[in-house]
Amino acid sequence: MTVRPRILVVDDEAQVLSLICDFLSERDWHVDAYHSGDEALKALEKRNYNVIVTDLRMQPVDGLQLLRRAKEKNALCEIIMITAYATMDSSLEALRGKVFDYLEKPIRLERLDLSLQNALMKNQLARENADLVERLKRQNEDLEHKVEEATRDLQDRTIRDHLTGLYNYRCFVNVLTTEISRSVRYGRPLSLGMLDLDHFKDFNDTLGHLAGNEVLKKVAFIMRAVVRENDVVARYGGEEFAVILPETTKLEAVSMILRIQKALRDRHFAYRRPSTGEQAVLTISAGIADCPGNAEDYDGLVRMADAALYQAKNSGRDRLAVSSGRQDEKSFDEKS
């Protein structure tokens, strides 16, 4: 659907204004006509115009004031200035204001018609160009958004476990190494929990690996729901998990891990043990070590937490063991 151009004509000489309006009435254009600049300013606040034909010398608002306001409101609007006489200063100011054309009185209607046709063509091309630029801008923004999403997705794939959505082993190593360095340097507490699902092979043998995978996802969800925002939960491998607890003492870590164990028991993931046929509920064993108390390097801290985990396993499972010595010692406290 073609939109009819809108023309604003302003001249304080009634005869000139009538002459122009009569001539333009033959065109398929919207034409608004005003006898003064202040009336034209009010019209500008209500609507946009493609072209403005205005007298230069008017009172109290002249053509230059009208030109400036029109350009402020709509930079694509074209201005055709008409006058019986003009000073050098007013002519230069009109040119600086990007007036499209400068016509002298008495008006030659053929000349005005040609100027209007050209001004409308320029206005249409400018609007089409502005629309194209805006579309390209939106497309570019959409593309940038997609690139950002793809980049985040790629980054997530490099640090996330594909099954559980937890951080993967590679990320765990990097984060724990960084946190140990910070703990040792600033003397801040850091605890590490190592957790392993009890009899998970029996669960898989009974219900199948697909059910096992679903349980791993649910266990991951439970752990994320229990820990704090700054804690890091990772899938260490298979059915083993790790929880990095920055700014956390060993006593505070015990409370956190016990909550994880309780939350898992409360979910009541039931199965039957293949060897005996008895009903069982999936549980998790855990071991805790801290920095700098138990170790001050990555290998040492993981070794102490892992040794505590196996102590919990050997003590009957669904238990928590806490390392109480240095990495060159073998000492554990058990929690039920």
**What CATH number does residue 34 fall under?**
3.40.50.2300
Domain end (from 132, 151, 183)? 132
What is the domain-level CATH number for residue 323?
3.30.70.270
Segment holding 115, helix H or strand E: helix 109-159
Taking the C-alpha atoms of residue 158 and residue 171, their distance in angstroms, rounded to an integer, is 8
Least Cα distance to 266 among 305, 219, 300, 298 occurs for 219
Question: At residue 97, does pLDDT exceed 60?
Answer: no
Residue 52 lies in domain: 6-132
Question: At residue 63, does pLDDT exceed 60?
Answer: yes
Taking the C-alpha atoms of residue 320 and residue 117, their distance in angstroms, rounded to an integer, is 87
**Confidence band, pLDDT 50/70/90 cuts, at residue 207:** very high
Domain end (from 132, 160, 184)? 132
Beta strands 270-272 and 279-281, pairing class: antiparallel
Taking the C-alpha atoms of residue 120 and residue 100, their distance in angstroms, rounded to an integer, is 10
Question: At residue 135, does pLDDT exceed 60?
Answer: yes
Dig out the tokens for 179 from the structure.
Answer: 């946190």
Within a domain: 152: no
Within a domain: 141: no
Mean pLDDT of 13-40: 90
Least Cα distance to 264 among 197, 208, 330 occurs for 197
How crowded is residue 267: how many other Cβ atoms within 10 Å of its Cβ?
A: 15
Judge if 120 and 211 occupy the same domain.
no
Q: How many CA atoms lie within 13 A of 2 on its CB side?
A: 6
Within a domain: 42: yes
Judge if 249 and 312 occupy the same domain.
yes
Within a domain: 156: no
Q: How many CA atoms lie within 13 A of 229 on its CB side?
A: 0
- DSSP lists the bridge partners of residue 123 as none
Rounded to 5 degrees, φ, ψ at 243 are -125, 115
Beta-carbon contacts of 95 under 8 Å, excluding residues fewer than 6 positions away, are 102
Mean pLDDT of 313-320: 95
Please say if 252 is a catalytic residue: no
Count: domains in the chain: 2
Better-scored residue on pLDDT, 142 or 332: 142
Taking the C-alpha atoms of residue 271 and residue 207, their distance in angstroms, rounded to an integer, is 7
Taking the C-alpha atoms of residue 144 and residue 163, their distance in angstroms, rounded to an integer, is 28
Better-scored residue on pLDDT, 149 or 323: 323
Taking the C-alpha atoms of residue 336 and residue 331, their distance in angstroms, rounded to an integer, is 17
Within a domain: 54: yes
Within a domain: 73: yes
Judge if 101 and 239 occupy the same domain.
no
Mean pLDDT of 144-168: 86
Choose the weakest-confidence range: 1-10, 225-234, 244-253, 316-325: 1-10
Dig out the tokens for 79 from the structure.
Answer: 């201005």
Taking the C-alpha atoms of residue 45 and residue 234, their distance in angstroms, rounded to an integer, is 61
Choose the weakest-confidence range: 195-209, 219-233, 271-285: 271-285
Judge if 102 and 209 occupy the same domain.
no
Question: At residue 187, does pLDDT exceed 90?
Answer: yes
**Catalytic one of 26, 45, 128, 239:** 239
Question: At residue 328, does pLDDT exceed 90?
Answer: no
Helix (H, G, I), strand (E, B) or coil at 101: strand
- DSSP lists the bridge partners of residue 235 as 241
Helix (H, G, I), strand (E, B) or coil at 74: coil
Average pLDDT along the chain: 89
Q: What is the pLDDT of residue 277?
A: 81
Within a domain: 101: yes
Dig out the tokens for 14 from the structure.
Answer: 């009634």
Dihedral sign, CA of 151, 153, 157, 160?
positive
Q: What is the pLDDT of residue 98?
A: 75
